[in-house]
Every structure is written in structure tokens, then in C-alpha cells.
Structure 1
């Protein structure tokens, strides 16, 4: 459904073309915001809740998953800019005795996923395993998840030598932020990013199971169908993925970040530097090249019942953020990638 076009002129490819790309994403519901200079397109597809005909709200909130990592990384880099910590500090300095070989793993290596630490996500079961459904309202601590991960040996021996994505890295960064500042990572994100940028639809919910305000309902598979997993305790994700946001807020955040409003230029450059040669992931930020050879920077996130994607060109002139509630008939990644490509390359 075409929802809104706010523009000084018509976007070059037309709203119908953008809407068609969103409609092609396999999902219960989807919401997107595309920006091209001063022109803004907002649209939705599908339904907000299964069993209803209720349209997806254009300002719908959703769980943004690993896009949380970019917020966490930005706070860490701000602390580095303030001289309160260094990117090359060993983990042992801030979390003594927590991480085996912590004296040889740096904060930078946590940020760019070259630590080699085992991913705590791989210690959890997924549907249709019956234990998975007990996670819905369970409260987890970062220490508990970290301990589960570190019970496993590292996936490679030399920190910094390889890229291997691990959510454990960001749980540790959340703990380091608290050690440096005396406040939780959620409080620091609220104070440094959410409030100053006016991200009114964005929150770090902690252990609250609810999504406040208008939102998409999310689902996970069970017994050949789908069950509502909108309510869930986001401590399962913690600093690696608990963020709730909107398409508008994520575009605003990435415009501020890539536009140099949140970090000194040297640290923004560090953020865009891959951890390994030829890589596409820096310090909490990823990137890829579109079909028209325009590079976009941002992140994506999988929060079980929600998937979110937010990318912008380096000059922030063009941006696209999409959130979907998967229907599990197909992986939405390819269709969303095509939508992003169409939005950037029109």
C-alpha cells in the first residue's frame, strides 16, 4: 500500500516502482522509508497482525536486532574520542579475568568481529526445538550469555587474524561501557544518541517484553504455522540486538552518524575500515556496493520475529530503511536487497 510521498518533486523512479519492490518482499508485514535529498517516500505492505486486515502503520515500531551494534559501537567510539578508553585497550583492562586470553584481545577486535570468541547465539536452540519457546519471557544476564559462549574454545587462535561474526563481542562491549561510565549501555545510548537526535520511536527496552506505541506484530514458526512472538524479553539479545526503532529514526541516526555529527572524522574513518583485508565490516558498521557501483553503509538485524535493514550513501543523500516481519515462506534478504538497490540506483 502506498502511504505517503513528501517531496518537492516526484522521485525519479516514481512511487509505484518503489511500492512494487516492497510488495515483492515475502513477509507478513513490511514498512519502509526512502530518502533522496529532500524527497521522502514512506510505504507499507501486508498487514500489521495476522488474522486481521489492519494495515501496517507507516510509523510502526519494530525490533531492529543487530542494528543495535552500530549504536553500541558509536558510544564506544565517543568514549574513545573523549579519552576515556582506547580502541586498542585489551579486554583484560576493563573486564579482568572474564575472557580467556583477554590480554591479547582488544576493544577494536570486539567491534570488528576479529576476536575469535565463540558466538553465544550458537549455544541457543531455534525453532522448532521446544526449548526455544521458553525463551519468550525469560530474563538473561550478559554474564550468563558470555559464560555460555566462553565455555567453548575460540573459533581461531590468533585474535585479529580473521573475521568471524560473534554476538558475544557486543555483550562484552556493553559490559565495558558500564565499567567505563558507571551506567548501562542502554542508559548511555539513551543519553548520547536517542535523546539528542530526537529519536522518539527508539528505545532500549532492557527486560521489558512490550513494544510501546504502534508496531508490527512478529511471528516465529511452530507446528507448521506461526505463533505471535511480538512480546518477548529482549535480554535474550542484550547489547547485541535489543534496540526497538522506526524507519524514520534509523534514517535519522545513520544520517547523523555518516554526516559526521556523532564522531570525529578520524573515528568515523576507523568505523568504515574493515577488520580484515577486503572485508565489508568495520567497527559496528557494514557496507556493500549496489548494482550502480554506489557504496552504501549501514547495518541489518535479525531479531527472530523481525528483520531490519538500514543503509545510506556516504554523503547521506540517499537512504533506505526497511523492516519486515518474516512469514518464513522464504528468506526476505534477497528481495530486500533488490529493494535497496532499486531505491539507491533509480
Structure 2
């Protein structure tokens, strides 16, 4: 069984954070626009079970002058989808549901047009269900929750295509999956995540944030560059939907998550194989999709974009390498940056 060398990590992390290594200096140069009195970023590089880079830049809170840190929690946006998928797979292992169940078995108020939609299709964005963002009332400024997504879709007796026949990225699908987790488990979705994933793996700062119910401690606030300055743009009307993007986490906790994906502490090998296997092509010829993961060559990855946050996690399981970049700003998307960091890490391994 492979586990993160976590007991040894604090000493190693202290040296990594000092910026003394060649790779750290190269990453510092790549991340220079995030340093200083600006919205920041945190970077994690895990290689062979050890965090070889764990470094943060800039500020988590401009107004208070709070610096980012490895324990700073960023809103993950669509990086959250891998946790939703893992929750569904846990319940399948428990025998509480089947991936080929019709969604209407669990959510009978869905319209008749969704009769053939399955849980598997929701996981792989092949259901064709209508995007809830497209049918929201633009005059309604209240935050939408997962249950509201279901209510919005109840009035949409149509799908974009015959379920299972095509691909269209769907936040609606993952909101519905969170509701299915609740109904199959008998727990609130946020509580299921805490009891089955976050708690057991020591992800004590990670939370599916619910205003008035939970707290996102040590959190970064989101910003956008508007009218020549950084302005706080932390929440939108869709920020409270949990299944598609409502989790807050840090690079320290995501190191624990990454470790759990290498062995059978979280999911059985067959479940992991399904999550990481290409299930469908996407609208990008170079990318396929599994269960909450994009697949490009030998990499598993997912980005997350929401108002004020841009994030990415990239895993190269065959190389035992993971790169995470979390940022609290609206631009740029850090996918290309993460690929450059991964390339540096690979070069360091092969350098004489």
C-alpha cells in the first residue's frame, strides 16, 4: 500500500518553502505575477509520495493584508467534481445505488424527457440535461443551491440530445449527483463528504461550504481585475451549489487527497479504474473524460473556474507526480502554468 510520507513532510516542507532548490527558484519565476500585494496562489508538487514543493504567493485577503499559506482554503470550483464522483462510487461500493440506475429513480420530479438519463451519464457529462445557468431568472439575485437546480430542471421537459449519444459539460449533472448522494446515503451531501472522505483522510480544513451551517476557515477571497484595480468578486448566484463546485480546500489537504487516490483506503481498484478510464470524448479532441476527471495522455486533471478563483490539479500516476495550483483571481487559468511546473519536476528527475 502506498501512502503519503506525511510524518516526514513537515521537515521537508520547511526546506521547500525557503526557495532554496533550483526547481523552486524556477517556479518562483513562473509565479512572479502572483507575488506581492495582489491576489495570490499556492503551488504543490508531490513526487513519489513527498511534497517537494509547497509554496504560496501573494495575499488571500487584500483588505486585511492576509498572506496565502499552505493551509489557505480556496474555492475549488469544478475541481470539486472529483469529490462528487468519488461519493457516488463509495455508495455504489456500499450497494446503495448502481451507476446504471436511472436518475429519476432517485429524483422522480425530473421531467419525463430525463427518463433515460443514468447516473453514469451524469458522471460523464453525456446526459444532455439542461444547464441550470441557462434557465435561471437573471433578475433573481438569491444564491442557488443544489435543490434549486432540481427545481429549475423540473420545468425543462427537454434534453440537449438523446441521453448517452453525445457530450456536453454539465454543472447541472453534478448538482443532481449531489442530491442523489443525499437520498442514497440519508445524509446531507456536505456531511457525507466530511464523514466518508474529508475526516478519514485528515482533510480537516476542507469543507463543502454552506452559509450559516459551516465555516470555510483560513479562506482566500476571490478577486477580479476591474477598472484598473483588484476588486473583491467572491460570490455569485451559483456559488452555493455544492455538487458542481462548492468545496473549499488547501494544497495541504489536496496532498492528502492525492495520496488516498493511490491505494485502497478510499475506493476499491475497480472503482478507481472506472473513475480514471476514458468514458467519452469531449469537445476538445485531445481530452477525454472519466468520472470527475479529464484525461489527456498520461495525465488526469481537472480545472476549476468560478468568479474570483482559477484552479487546477494535474496527476501523472505512472510518474508518481502531482501538481496543484490554486489561485484567488479571475485570470489567468493556471492549466498551462501547471503543465510547465510538471515539466520542471520531470526534468529534475531526469537531470544528471
Q: Aligning the two structures, in what range does the TM-score lie when normalised by the shorter sequence?
A: 0.7 to 0.9
Aligned mates of 2:196, 2:215 — CA distance in 1: 22
Q: CA, structure 1 residues 232+208, in 2 after alignment: closer, same or farther (shift >3 Å)? A: farther
Contact between 2:132 and 2:171, CA under 8 Å: does it hold in 1?
A: yes
Any residues of structure 2 matched to 1:16-31 within 5 Å, and which? 16-23=25-32, 28-31=39-42
Match of 2:84 in 1: 72
How far the C-alpha of 1:199 sits from its partner, in A, is 0.3
Are 1:318 and 2:321 an aligned pair? yes
Match of 1:338 in 2: 340
Are 1:59 and 2:71 an aligned pair? yes
Equivalent position to 2:292, from 284, 294, 302: 284
Q: Look up the SS of the partner of 1:240 in the other structure.
A: coil
Aligned mates of 1:149, 1:223 — CA distance in 2: 36
Equivalent position to 1:308, from 297, 311, 315: 311
Are 1:36 and 2:47 an aligned pair? yes
Any residues of structure 2 matched to 1:1-346 within 5 Å, and which? 4-6=14-16, 13-23=22-32, 28-37=39-48, 38-50=50-62, 54-123=66-135, 135=141, 138-149=142-153, 151-152=155-156, 154=158, 156-208=160-212, 212-220=216-224, 225-230=229-234, 236-277=240-281, 279-289=287-297, 295-315=298-318, 317-326=320-329, 328=331, 330-346=332-348
How far the C-alpha of 1:327 sits from its partner, in A, is 5.2
Task: Indicate the larger mover: 143-152 or 299-308.
Answer: 143-152
Aligned mates of 1:223, 1:148 — CA distance in 2: 34
Deviations 1:159-205 (A, max 9, x none): 11211111000111111111111112111111100000000110111
Aligned mates of 1:173, 1:56 — CA distance in 2: 32
Q: Look up the SS of the partner of 1:196 in the other structure.
A: coil
Q: Look up the SS of the partner of 2:15 in the other structure.
A: strand
How far the C-alpha of 1:70 sits from its partner, in A, is 0.8
Contact between 2:303 and 2:335, CA under 8 Å: does it hold in 1?
A: no
Task: Indicate the larger mover: 231-240 or 212-221.
Answer: 231-240
Q: CA, structure 1 residues 66+325, in 2 after alignment: closer, same or farther (shift >3 Å)? A: same
Task: Indicate the larger mover: 76-85 or 257-266.
Answer: 257-266
How far the C-alpha of 1:58 sits from its partner, in A, is 3.0
Aligned mates of 1:153, 1:223 — CA distance in 2: 42
How far the C-alpha of 1:260 sits from its partner, in A, is 3.5
Contact between 1:63 and 1:306, CA under 8 Å: does it hold in 2?
A: yes
Task: Indicate the larger mover: 193-202 or 261-270.
Answer: 261-270
> C-alpha root-mean-square deviation of aligned residues, in Å?
3.1
Match of 1:292 in 2: none
Q: CA, structure 1 residues 178+210, in 2 after alignment: closer, same or farther (shift >3 Å)? A: closer
How far the C-alpha of 1:299 sits from its partner, in A, is 2.1
How far the C-alpha of 1:43 sits from its partner, in A, is 1.2
Q: CA, structure 1 residues 193+327, in 2 after alignment: closer, same or farther (shift >3 Å)? A: closer
Contact between 2:207 and 2:216, CA under 8 Å: does it hold in 1?
A: no
Q: Look up the SS of the partner of 2:303 in the other structure.
A: strand
Deviations 1:111-161 (A, max 9, x none): 010001122233459xxx9x6xx74xx343323223334545656322112
Q: CA, structure 1 residues 92+145, in 2 after alignment: closer, same or farther (shift >3 Å)? A: closer
Task: Indicate the larger mover: 141-150 or 196-205.
Answer: 141-150
Q: CA, structure 1 residues 4+22, in 2 after alignment: closer, same or farther (shift >3 Å)? A: farther
